[in-house]
Amino acid sequence: MSHQLAVFGGGCFWCTEAVFDVLRGVKSVMSGYAGGKNKNPTYEQVCMGNTGHAEVIRIEFDPAEVSFRDLLTVFFATHDPTTLNRQGNDVGTQYRSAIFYADEKQKEEAAAFIKKLDDAKTFKNSIVTTLEPLAEFYPAEGYHQKFYANNPAQPYCQYMIPPKLTKLHKQFKDLLKLQGQ
């Protein structure tokens, strides 16, 4: 069976990459940019907040091992989808909660998932996650790839990522890769 792609923006891509990198069925996770007007944007340009791009991760996954729905479940559980253009202290459209769908099936599944969460009042406030067509994905600079794995002592990472990973290990143990994978 062929692999599929999912592209999510959930704030800082260092954080989202660290979460999805440990899921079974995930073959690769790449930090990058999507949703804007500039071709080949740089981190500095995206950080200025005027390119329209969001910090995102591109997940290559095997749907026989982990479903798009599983990825959506983890996505919504590991960031705040109710704050517009903000995750914690990271503020701006580049930190928006977004799903960049690869096809109509992903769009429909994500829309139904959001509606179900909102109808169930899973969060105190309504979900503001945008559904945007994936026109282009631009890989982030090399030093952003596997950032947490390569820089676990970086203060921002120490503060932001361990709570997400702890939640992941408690709530989604069945979705984690086995040791050595």
Annotated catalytic residues are 12
At residue 72, the 3 state secondary structure works out as: helix
At residue 85, the 3 state secondary structure works out as: coil
User: CB–CB of 45/51 below 8 Å?
Assistant: yes
Q: Following DSSP, what letter does each residue of 103-171 receive, concatenated?
A: SHHHHHHHHHHHHHHHHTT-SSS----EEEE---EEEPPGGGTTHHHH-TT-HHHHHHHHHHHHHHHHH
Closest residue by Cα to residue 173 from 23, 13, 63: 23
User: Cα separation of 2 and 119, whole Å?
Assistant: 34
